[in-house]
Structure 1
């Protein structure tokens, strides 16, 4: 797999997790469940998913698509 493919696969996995966590949080908001153990679990999940996404985006600038990472 190329660096670009690796980036896309990992980015997709992280985005799916972040989207799922955010969706669950929005469901709780719609149900007016803004406290309790389920709220704590889901907000922690969403926070951690966001942090993983941001870490991924910021940790490997030389490996992002569109940038040449091969040595000549």
Structure 2
């Protein structure tokens, strides 16, 4: 698997987790559940998923434009 493929696979995992956490948070909001243990759990999950995504993007260990198989 190329570096680009590795990046895409990991990015897909992280985005899917962030999307699931955000969706769960929005569900709780629509149910007016803005406090309590479930809110705390989902808020923490969403926050950590966002932080993992941002950390991954800021690593710059993924290929840049024009790179196919080389990591930086």
Normalising by structure 2, we get a TM-score of 0.88
Q: Following TM superposition, by how much is the alpha carbon of 1:65 offset from its aligned partner in structure 2, in angstroms?
A: 4.5
Q: Which runs of 5+ in 1 are unaligned?
A: none
By percentage of residues, which structure has more helix?
Answer: 1
Match in the other structure for 2:22 = 22
Q: Following TM superposition, by how much is the alpha carbon of 1:67 offset from its aligned partner in structure 2, in angstroms?
A: 4.5
Q: Following TM superposition, by how much is the alpha carbon of 1:25 offset from its aligned partner in structure 2, in angstroms?
A: 0.1
Instruction: Please show how residues 31-70 of structure 1 align to structure 2 within 5 Å.
Output: 31-59=31-59, 61-68=60-67, 69=70
Q: Following TM superposition, by how much is the alpha carbon of 1:64 offset from its aligned partner in structure 2, in angstroms?
A: 2.8
Q: Which runs of 5+ in 2 are unaligned?
A: none
Length, aligned pairs only: 69
